[in-house]
Amino acid sequence: MLHQGVIERYRRYLPVTGKTCVITLNEGSTPLVRAYNLSAAIHPRIDVYLKYEGLNPTGSFKDRGMTMAITKAVEDGFKAVICASTGNTSASAAAYAARAKIRCAVLIPEGKIALGKLSQAMIHGARVIQVKGNFDDALNLVRTIAETNPIALVNSVNPFRIEGQKTGAFEIVDDFEGVAPDCHVLPVGNAGNITAYWKGYKEYYSVGKVKNLPRMIGFQAAGAAPIVLGHVVENPQTYATAIRIGNPASWKTAVEARDESGGLIGMVTDHEIGIGYKMLAATEGIFAEPASAATVAGLLKLAENGYFDALEPVAGDKIRIVCILTGHGLKDPDSAIKAAEQPITVEAEEDAVLDAIGIGEPVGV
């Protein structure tokens, strides 16, 4: 089947009509990659699948929500959209707004967004405004601006964003032919995505498309973990800039998802995220950005704490886990170059090259 984006694929579950002019870049239908090496490296009882959201058109899961938000903004007659962003939302908003031929303004925290994301917002022609503050400051600003001006807010406080993003849950259940995973693991920043996935699973459950619900397991970066700590973090810090957020807009619904599902929201340090980041790339050949690697870091931590020893799988003999790899690794080349072994420079001679290759040395990572 030719997929024409998440609105066409899941039209009956979304607030669109036959008259709606759909703005799409053929987002969604991302692969669910079975991670044999990673599973074996983490715990003998787990079977991890990676939902590679980095393969969406602008390289992150935001496209699922943005197709809905921009489609509805156009339907409602808006000629301009605005968002605050740690990077990916701005890239996605800029791309979909370009396609819809409407204006787009993005507010980003000065100097704190990854290079790939900044380049996307710029090349798609958004008005890129760097704010001397953090994401939370930028979000407060755009909320106020959108209240009093004819400009649609396309952050995840816009309910259409959540509607679009819930399609990720539908895809997972459809791929598993009517079964939800035992655990659904994802990074948590502004907390829209955990809210959306839980909504998606519950909707599928209520129409009988799935017989079980997953535990929702979120991870925040330790320096930006307001939900874990139970209070706003005034000056959030983490190198995983996508989730550098101290006061998530969807805090309440994230806590509901956690509690209703019997899951948890934990935190991982930047050091732990760095280990997960490299492990994912090295063991599975999948390149995700640091925020996405918080899932792998979190799994390692849960395994260490004995979390998987007591769980009983809903089907089969392994605990089935889906990790959402929210953004492509190429979004943030600086982090990759910092984390990896540096290239070697040699003379243009065979001996020097052979020496550098290290033929005869054991292969491994």
Residues that bind ligand F0G (CB under 6 A): 60, 62, 85-89, 156, 187-193, 242-243, 289, 291-292, 326-327
196 Cβ neighbours under 8 A, 6+ residues apart? 65, 156, 161, 162, 163, 164, 165, 166, 168, 169
Cα–Cα dist 55/203, whole Å: 25
Whole-number minimum distance, CB 163 to ligand F0G, in Å? Answer: 14
Please identify, using beta-carbon distances, which residue of 118 and 151 lies nearer to ligand F0G: 118
Residue nearer to ligand F0G on the CB measure, 107 or 319: 107
Nearer to ligand F0G, 122 or 179 (CB): 122
Give least dist CB 188 to ligand F0G, A.
5
Q: Is 34 helix (H, G, I), strand (E, B) or coil?
A: strand
Residue 187 beta carbon to ligand F0G: minimum distance, rounded to whole angstroms: 4
Beta carbon nearer to ligand F0G, 73 or 254: 254
DSSP 62-79: HHHHHHHHHHHHHHTT-S
CB of 87 to ligand F0G, least distance (A): 5
Helices 88-100 + 62-75 axis angle, to 10? 40
Question: Could you give the dihedral angle defined by the CA atoms of residues 84, 91, 65 and 19, in that order, rounded to the nearest 10 degrees?
Answer: 110
Angle between helices 270-284 and 290-304 (to 10 degrees): 100
Q: CB of residue 250 vs ligand F0G: minimum separation in angstroms?
A: 7
Residue whose CB is less far from ligand F0G, 63 or 289: 289
